[in-house]
Chain A
C-alpha cells in the first residue's frame, strides 16, 4: 500500500474485554514496530518484528499484551482483559530494515470504559 494502514482508527471497549488492533505495513517492509502513546506523552516502544519473529518485545508492559505477524506482513496487537489504563493511541510503523527510516501509521485510538 501507499502507507502504513491501521484499523480500526477508533475502538471503544469495556473493561475486561479482549481487543485486536491491526497494522498493514508498507509492502515489502520487513521491520515492523508497535508503540503506545498515552495522552500528553510521547510514543513508547512496545515490540519490534523482523519478518515473522518478534526480535524485541521488551516494551510490552505485561502478559496481557501480545502481538503476532504470522506471514511477515500484517501484524495484530492483542490485548486481553483490558484495563482503563490501556487507553491510548497505538501506533504502528514499518521500515525496509532494521535501523532504516520508519514510516508511521495514523494510529488506533483505544478507549477502555
Chain B
C-alpha cells in the first residue's frame, strides 16, 4: 500500500540554521511527492512537489529531491527564518493526476530568533 513516514518533531532551530526534515515513502507504481506547510491559523498550502525520480522541487528557499533508490523526499533549507515556523507535511499521490493524497504525520518546526 501507500504510506509516508516522516521525521517526528518537534524541531526547534535558531534563525539561519540549516533545516532537514526526513521523509520516506512506500508506494505502488510511480508516485508524485509533495511537501505541504501549515502556518499558524492557516490552511494547508502546497510548498513544493516532484513528479518523477531525480526531480527537485523548490520554493521559498526550500528544496526536496525525489530519490527513488532510497524512496525519500527530504526537505531542506539552508537558512531558516522565524517566519518558517509551521507544521510541515510530506505527502504522496499514487500518480500524477491521482485523486487523493497520503500524508505523513507532520513535523512542527519552531525557529527562534
Contact = CB atoms under 8 A, between A and B. Distances in A.
A101 B102 CA distance: 15
Contacts of B101: 35, 43, 45, 102
Interface in A98-113: 98-99, 101-107
A59 B100 CA distance: 9
A42 B4 contact: yes
Contact of A99 (B41, B97, B105): B97
B105 A40 contact: yes
The interface size bin for chain B is 20 to 34
A43 B96 contact: no
Interface of A: 3-4, 31, 33, 35, 40-45, 48, 55-56, 58-59, 91, 93, 98-99, 101-107
Chain A contact residues: helix, strand, loop or mixed: loop
Nearest to A4: B43
A104 B44 contact: yes
Contacts of A40: 105
